[in-house]
Every structure is written in C-alpha cells, then in structure tokens.
Structure 1
Amino acid sequence: MLAAFLVVGCTIAVCAYYLITPARQKAPADVQLPDGPPGKPIIGNLLDIPPYHSWFKFQEWSMQYGPLFRLNIAGRNHIVVSTEEIANDLLRERGNIYSDREQLPMAAQLLSNNLRPLFLPYGETWRNVRKLMHNLTNVSIAATYEPLQEEESLRMVRDLTRAPEKYETWFERYSAGLILRLAYSKPVYTGEESFVRRILRVVHTVERVASPGAYLVDTIPALMYLPYFLAPFKREGAKLHAEESNLFRNLLEEGISNSQRGPAMENFCGKWFNKKVSYSISDDHAAYAIGTLFEAGAGTTASAMMSFMLSMTLHPHEFAKLQAEVDKIVGPSRLPSFTDMPDLPRVRAVAKEVLRWRPVTAGGLPHMLTKDDVYKMEDGRSIFLPAGVNVHPVQWSIHREPKRYPDPDSFRPERWLEEGWPTFKEPLTQYPNLQNFSAFGFGRRICPGQNIAERSLYILISRIAWCCDISQKQSPEGKPIVPPSYDYITGFNVQPKPFDFDLKARLDRQNLLESEYNAVWSNNQEKNG
C-alpha cells in the first residue's frame, strides 16, 4: 500500500512540476548551444555522471567537447567550465548576472532553511550577509588575527611531533580552535570536546548533503511536491536543520555574552551585535553567517593540510627544498613567524601548488545565470547561455589546463617560482600568493575566509618544515610504503583518506618548541581556567 501511494505521489509531483515549469528557451539563430555528451530520453546524462569524484569524468568530457560543454540532467541544462580564463570571464567579469545559486531542495531549503550564505540567492539579503562576512575577514582585519594563528599553530606542530599518527585531529583542532576563538571567544584544548565534535558533525553533514547526486530531490525537484509522509528526505532535512540552527543560535548568544566581558574577549558575534542595525539581517542570518565562517575555514584548511602532508610524503625532495628555504631565512633559534613570509616564496608556492594539485572543492560550486548571455569562444563560435542554467567551474579541470599549468598532474612548486612557467610572477616577495586564486572560487561568490585561510596555510607549512622531518614509512622488510596519490574521501569537500608516513621532531629544534609551547599555552589555560 505504501509503495502504491509513493508511485502515485511521485507521478503527481512530476506532472505538477512540468505543468508549472515554463518551456526551455532555444538558442537564437546566430548563436549555438555548447556541445556535450549525448544523453538518454528524459534522464539525459544523469546516469553518465559517476556518483563520486565526478570531476574525473568532467575532465574527460572537457577534452572531448571543449572547455565549455553542456550536460542535460533530467531535463535541466548545466554548463561545465574547464579553464580559468572562461571562468573569470563569466563568473567574475559578468558577476552581476552569474552570481545566483540554484535553490537545491535538500541543501538550500530543507537543511539550511534559506539561511546558509553559501546557498543564498543573489540579492539584497545575500549582499547584507556578505557585508558582515567581509567586515569580519577582509585583508586588513585578517592581519589582526595573526597572533592567534601563531598560538594555534605552535600547539599544532608541538602535538604533531608527539603523535604524528593523529595528524587529522591536530589539523582539525587548529582550524576549529582558531575559528572558535575568533568567532565566539571559545577556547579549544583537546579537539575532542563535545561542542567541537558537534560543530564538525554539522560541517560534515552539509558537505555530505550538498554533494552532487546525494539526494534524488536535487536532481528531480518535482519530488518536493510529495506530501510529508511520503518524503523521508523532508523528515531528514527537518531534523538536520533543527540540530544545526539550535547550535548556531546558542553559539551566537554565547559569543555575544563572551564579547561583553571586555576588549580581550572581542569576537565576531560582538562585532555584529554592536552594529546590528547597520547590517539589516535577522538574528538567524547572522548566526548562520558566523557559523558558516567556521564551516568555510575549519574543514577546508584541515583538508588542505592533509593534502600537504601527502604531497611531502610522496615528494621528499620537495620537502627538503622547503626545509632549506626556512632554515636559511629563519635559522634554528626561533620559529617562523608572519614577518618572515615575504622572504619565504617557496612556502607560499608549496601552499598554492597543494591547492592546485589537490583542490579541496574539486568539483567547484555552481553559479546560476539570471539573464540570457552569449560568450564568444577563442575559435570564433558564439555560445548561447540561457537564463537559469547552472555554470559549474570544475576546479579539478581548471587546475589541469595544460596551457596554463604545463605537466599538470605533477606536483611542481617551481611553476610559481621560476621564469618560463606561465604562472610565474614577480616580485617574489609578493608572489606567489593566494589572493583571488581559483581554488577559493570565482567572482562575487569567492570564499570570504580566503584571507584567514591563506595565513593559516603559510604559518602551518613553514613551522612544520622548521620543526619536523617527514619521510615515507618503512615496511617490516625495509621497503618504503608509498601512499596512493589519489585515494580521497567522497563528498563536497575532499581530503586524502588516512595514510602512513614517518614524522619526527628535528633534534636541534625540539627543546625550543617545548619552551615556546609551555610559555604560551600554560598561560592560556590559566587565563581560561
């Protein structure tokens, strides 16, 4: 009986959807739609797209159909972009019409209740929320957070030398500890605190829910017309939303309360509360804006650092070069600091190459076009892009464009450091850097936390190079254990699955590291009880 109800309900929902959905536009006579793989009736290319790591297939298609190609997913057109030039031309230079988001039923509506900035439609509310996030994370204000980043990185590298097998925990604790202090004046000590694990569960939930193909309703929005009792995804969405909204609201209240205890406890929540009227957003929008700054910063920085460890394990000669630069500039008698960064171009190059070689958001985030547009390709073709289409800048493909990134599958930090490479820029005291790098997205939807993330990667990488020796683990037979180059988890943001490596503290640095750690963190724990 339930199955019969479900079939009838689905049929009614699909019919209702197509009755109220306007007919799709055809390309004007003098332009053409992009090429793309042929699909099947009704479902189009739906079954051609792998359920995970779909960016491999997208890259294959880009080689066959060009850097701008079309997919039909159950009657909805999607445009895939595979070069940085086209992505910037459309998403940055024409950002006034390429900055919307499709309101995916599960991620945007049911999970987020139209509150999460990542999924907000382009409009007044999004601009007001973005204004708050910009004021908390812009270049000037991000520089004031450097002392906290140095404190948290000191703790991370000290614990990494003591228990390298727990590297995932230490990277997650660094990211969580930093953002929770900045956002809520809430210290983290072990990384296993219940509130930390709860927040990380929310982060992993949104990554799972927003993954392409995770829910059928995102592919067939007509299923939203199903009644509640026939739609288990609606019940799941309501439960997940209640959990995260309760968390973000409570954290906002706690952050405001902490910020009122004095200047030393200033945080994101207090900064919003003190100028609340000027932002013209609801308390819930503020709670989500601040809460999702944690989402943006915590998961991505930790994931990037895990890829850094993988890259150094696979390329020990690159780690040796990194150590040589840090040793030359910093020496053995102090830890690297942010004041060293202009003189550490290889540190910055390694950070940038890690994000290029193993992008965290490998599939990219789609932008929705709000107005018909025409784009002229290099070969002279005029391509019609209809309003409402989703434009996917696939970072995996963009970061592997041979013209811009020769030898794209190899880990080559010198592409940012040496003349002759297309990406080389001078002066090396300023370049390379991560400003407006495609790994953080494009145009008006670029990641608002990029300035904080950039500094985090620099300080963590430089201090690991200063303090640690990394090598491949040896088997009982004395042979090196080489981890897989790409064995990554599935999801919206990705990171390497756990892998083996050896890490030891450099003997001439360990005592200084312990001394610095004790000076900073014993004081911190005393101040926070």
Structure 2
Amino acid sequence: MLEVHLPHLPLSLLLRPAGYCSVLAVILLLLVRQYLVRKVRSPLPPGPKTSWYGGAALPKAYPWRTYAEWQRLYGDIIYIHAVGNPILVLNSRKAIYDLLETRSAIYSSRPRRTMTRELMGWDWLFSSMPYGSAWRKRRALFQKYFHPRASPRYEPVQIKEAHTLLRNLADSPDKFSHHIRRSAAAVVMMVSYGHQVAQEGDYFVTIADHALTGLALAGNFGTYLVDYIPILKYVPAWMPGAGFRRQADVWRKSTHAMVEKPFELVQQQLASGTARPSLASEELEEWTRSGQDPEQAVLIKDVAAISYAAGADTTVSAILSFFLAMSLYPDVQRRVQEQLDKVTGSQRLPLFSDRSALPIIDCVVSECLRWNPVTPLSLPHFTVEDDVYEGYWVPKGTTVLPNVWKLLHDPAMYPDPMTFNPDRFADSKTNVELGINEEPLAAFGFGRRICPGRYLAMDTIWITIVSVLSVYNISKPLDKDGVAIEPDIEPTSSFLSRPKPFQCWVTPRSKAALSLIKESEDEQP
C-alpha cells in the first residue's frame, strides 16, 4: 500500500479550481516517486498471493504447522500481507537468530494488538508493550526479583508446593490436571503477592484463569477482524455482528480484576501488618518510604501481575506435557527413576542440591518444553525501521512471527521430532556442534524480549518432575476389559498451547514412597 504525505497547502488554495489541479498534480508526482523508489528497492520476501480485497487469509487452526509446510513453497522467510498488517514468518533457526538476536535494535518492539491490548485490557502486560521506556522500567523491576542469583530464594516455596502436589495426587489422582495448575499458581502467587493459595476454589487463581483463558483464545493474530481493521473497536457492543466487543468486555473485567484484586489485598495486609514477604509487599514498602509516586505504584502493580500471567501457563503446559509423555513412554520413565533411585533411594524426597547428580531430569525438562512449546509462534516482534535480509526488503511496521514449533521440531536438529526423547539433550558436546541449546530457550522467546522469568519457571518444572517421579508411576488408564486407553496427544491450537484434556493413572511406586508422601506434610524445607 502506498503512503502519500501531502505538503501543507493553504485552505484558500484548495478551494480554488486551480488549487484542485495543484493538489492532484502533487499527488500524482508523489505516487510516481514512490513507484520508482519501490521499483529500485529490494523485493519483498515470497509468500501467498493476496486476495481481491488486498490481503491474505491467515490459517486459523495450528498456524505454526501451516507455516512450516509453507517453507517448502516459499523458503525460510514468508511474507504475508494481511489487510494492511504485513507479517513475516521466520521458519528457520538461522533467520530467527539473524534477525531477532543479531538485529535486535530493529526487531525488538511489539505490534499493535487491538483485541487483546485495547479491548480486553492487556495493555499493562509489559511482555507485549512496544519497545521503549515503559517496557524498560517494568522489565528492570521484574529482573530485580527473577535474575539467576535470586533463584535460591524461591526454592523453599517451590519444594513446599511440589510436596503439596504429591499429597494432592495421593488423595485424588484423577484430578491431576487441577492439582498441577494449583501447584504452579501457588508458587507464583506466593512469590508475587505472599498469598497462600487455597486448596480448592481460590478466588485470585479463578479470576486469573478466566483472564488467561481469554488471552489464550484471542492471542493469535487474526482471530478477530478487529486485529486487521482497528477502527472496528469503535463499533457499539449492541450492534449485530459486534459479538467480539461483547466478549472483550467480559474478558476485560477478568483482566482488570487479575491486576487489581491481589494488589489491593497486599495493600490491606501491609496496613494491618500481616503481609508476607513478596515482590508486591517489598516494593510497596519501599514506595511508601520514597514518597509514594503514583506512577511507581502502577509499575509495581503491573509487574506483580505479569509474574503470574507469564509464569503459570508455561509451567502448567510443561508439567502436563510431562504427565502425558510419561504415560506414553514408560521406558523413559523407568530409566529416569533408575537414576533417581541411585541418588535418593526410598529414604527421602529429592532437593535442589541433588540437581548435579540427576542430569537426566534436566533433559526431561528440556524435552517437555521442546515437545509441546507453550507459545508455538512465540510473542510477535515488530520492525521499527526498514531492513534488508537475504536480498529481501522487510518494511518498517512488519509483524514478525518466529515459528518456535518449527524450530523445535526441525528433524535436522531434532531427529524424529514428534517422539519424546530426553536423550537428545544428554550429550552437551553434540548439542554445541549441532547448535542445540542445552535447554530449549526458544520456548522463552528471543533477543531483548526473551522471558526474564525463565529461571523461576525452569526450577519449578524441575522440582515438580523430580518429586513426582520419585514416588509415583504414571501410566495409561485401562478400560473395563483391561485395554489401555490411548490419550489424545494433539495439543490445543490456541495462542497459549498445552495438551488437550487426557486421562492417566498416577499410582505410588511402593509403600515406602507412600510413606514419604505422608511424611512431607510436616516438613519445612
């Protein structure tokens, strides 16, 4: 689409017949100039043809797989003109790292997302903010609490909630999915707000889950027409065809509550002297001492909320993938437990201090993140200026989608990629030669926008997996005839992807294991 910038012309001139001719002449000259400029500019990358209305339809279901298939037609980079929203899909490791890492100054911003940010109220989420001062302030505060050296601070709560998960699985193993979500939420809610999550029906977890459900459904660009045509956000909610507005209003209430309610709780606890140590309480205490700048209070509130939004879903998706994989690959489970038994036996539950003696657990964590990445298309990047890559022009204002699923399922890097195989991460020397990360950091983003909470997430996943495997066996359920019920291994197609609901049996490995589960209740790590 050509952009024409008219010079300033007096209104009196425009109202004259000669003025009209002058304006038309200027427009014609500008159009000719831009046409000639474009003729000498590098070509756009290849991609699907646009339709009669000037755009290409984006795939709705599992778009990352469609983009991976398109690689055979168009190559490693694919340009899609989606009704005024140019999109560049990156399908190769080289393209992703060349642009998002090496040229991060151009590719580190975020695109406008009318449905999620403007209508659903996710404008506070700094992971989707444009690159700039507001984003830098929030990221700096977040990193203050979630850098690698801060990790040991959170180990006690991570161990405590892993042990709570073990006891919950003993009481109601059929509700494993609920228990996993509760455990993940409990860690981040304690770290962010000092809030102890209730066993059943926690109010703050419920409102956050409602908000995140909306984000998962609406997060893929193009799900709603308003993402293509932002002016539609002004359509009244009562009009026919404005169902997206009504749905956005419902989700917006949950999004607002997710940010405000737990923050208000911490403020009340500080006033009464009952607040536990947390990101929110410590920063609010400092805020009170330093003069109570209103802008700083908003920043604290936003960063505390994103700790839950960013941490819970990645952790839950990876742990659900672990349960699914163990039911599908009993040989893997057996080999992991053999190494585990040599370290802890049946005398105690594992601790973080055992990590160096249990390298296979880190391999399992990495494979869970690779096998079913929670954000298959990552978070979109956005170009802030024109660029040329491999002879192709990448216009300013292009949304860039790194195909994480394709990267982590590339058979050249990960042979037999659909198979769950932790051994692929076992030989660090081979990994370096192949360019494989010892942990699949691609699951956490790229460049300046890589997730700063990845250390907390990786540690939570690790202690959960090692704790569960030390005392439980996970297997496929059997029907009334003793035949194994095969789970649906297809993940969801939403922006935040995870395994679809499935069944599995979670049974104690032995009487000694059952005793360890019961004994954990009185432990204070």
Q: Under TM normalisation by the shorter chain, which class is it?
A: 0.7 to 0.9
> Is residue 138 from structure 1 mapped to residue 147 from structure 2 by the alignment?
yes
Shift of 1:307: 0.9
Name the counterpart of 1:360. Answer: 374
Residue 71 (structure 1) aligned to one of 80, 95, 103: 80
* CA distance 1:34–1:116, shift in 2 (3 Å): same
Name the counterpart of 2:498. Answer: 495
> Structure 2: which amino acid aligns with 1:44?
G
Q: Distance in 1 between matches of 2:268 and 2:433?
A: 48
Name the counterpart of 1:7. Answer: none
Alignment of 1:432-471 (within 5 A): 432-433=438-439, 437-471=441-475
Alignment of 1:198-347 (within 5 A): 198-226=207-235, 230=239, 231=242, 233-258=244-269, 265-276=276-287, 281-347=295-361
Q: Which runs of 5+ in 1 are unaligned?
A: 1-18, 377-381, 522-529
Question: Residue by residue, what CA displacement relative to the aligned partner does 1:144-198 show, whole Å, maximum 9, x if unpaired?
Answer: 1011000000011221233221111111111111111111111113142233212
* CA distance 1:225–1:203, shift in 2 (3 Å): closer
Alignment of 1:63-212 (within 5 A): 63-112=72-121, 114-212=123-221
Q: Distance in 1 between matches of 2:338 and 2:513?
A: 15
> Is residue 474 from structure 1 mapped to residue 478 from structure 2 by the alignment?
yes
Q: Distance in 2 between matches of 1:43 and 1:318?
A: 51
- Structure 2 length as normaliser, TM-score? 0.86
* CA distance 1:263–1:240, shift in 2 (3 Å): closer
**Range with bigger deviation, 35-44 or 408-417:** 35-44
Name the counterpart of 1:417. Answer: 426
> Is residue 505 from structure 1 mapped to residue 508 from structure 2 by the alignment?
yes
Name the counterpart of 2:21. Answer: none
Name the counterpart of 1:525. Answer: none
> Structure 2: which amino acid aligns with 1:180?
M
**Range with bigger deviation, 490-499 or 221-230:** 221-230
Q: Distance in 2 between matches of 1:161 and 1:425?
A: 42
Q: Distance in 2 between matches of 1:149 and 1:356?
A: 23
Q: Is the 8 A contact 1:115 1:288 kept in 2?
A: yes
* CA distance 1:311–1:246, shift in 2 (3 Å): closer
Shift of 1:211: 3.0
Question: Residue by residue, what CA displacement relative to the aligned partner does 1:336-361 show, whole Å, maximum 9, x if unpaired?
Answer: 11111112111011111111111111
> Structure 1: which amino acid aligns with 2:109?
D
Shift of 1:409: 2.0
Q: Distance in 1 between matches of 2:206 and 2:234?
A: 35
Name the counterpart of 1:527. Answer: none
* CA distance 1:461–1:27, shift in 2 (3 Å): farther
Q: Is the 8 A contact 1:425 1:432 kept in 2?
A: no
**Range with bigger deviation, 88-97 or 170-179:** 88-97
* CA distance 1:448–1:263, shift in 2 (3 Å): farther
Question: Residue by residue, what CA displacement relative to the aligned partner does 1:254-295 show, whole Å, maximum 9, x if unpaired?
Answer: 224435777982111123224446999453343222112101
Pairs aligned (count): 487
- Structure 1 length as normaliser, TM-score? 0.85
Residue 365 (structure 2) aligned to one of 351, 367, 382: 351
Question: Residue by residue, what CA displacement relative to the aligned partner does 1:226-262 show, whole Å, maximum 9, x if unpaired?
Answer: 4565455445434533443244223213224435777
SS in 2 for 1:452: helix
Residue 519 (structure 2) aligned to one of 489, 508, 515: 515
**Range with bigger deviation, 279-288 or 461-470:** 279-288
Q: Distance in 2 between matches of 1:27 and 1:425?
A: 39
Shift of 1:225: 4.8
Q: Distance in 1 between matches of 2:38 and 2:320?
A: 45
Q: Distance in 2 between matches of 1:143 and 1:28?
A: 58
Q: Is the 8 A contact 1:359 1:396 kept in 2?
A: yes
Name the counterpart of 2:10. Answer: none
* CA distance 1:242–1:470, shift in 2 (3 Å): closer
Q: Distance in 2 between matches of 1:60 and 1:284?
A: 44
SS in 2 for 1:266: coil
Q: Is the 8 A contact 2:284 2:297 kept in 1?
A: no
Identity, in percent, stands at 29
Looking at CA atoms only, which structure, 1 or 2, has the larger radius of gyration? 2
Q: Distance in 2 between matches of 1:423 and 1:412?
A: 18
Q: Distance in 2 between matches of 1:226 and 1:475?
A: 52
Q: Distance in 2 between matches of 1:190 and 1:81?
A: 43
* CA distance 1:264–1:467, shift in 2 (3 Å): farther
Q: Distance in 1 between matches of 2:198 and 2:457?
A: 21
Shift of 1:421: 4.5
* CA distance 1:327–1:27, shift in 2 (3 Å): farther
* CA distance 1:28–1:307, shift in 2 (3 Å): farther
> Structure 2: which amino acid aligns with 1:516?
S
> Structure 1: which amino acid aligns with 2:498?
Q
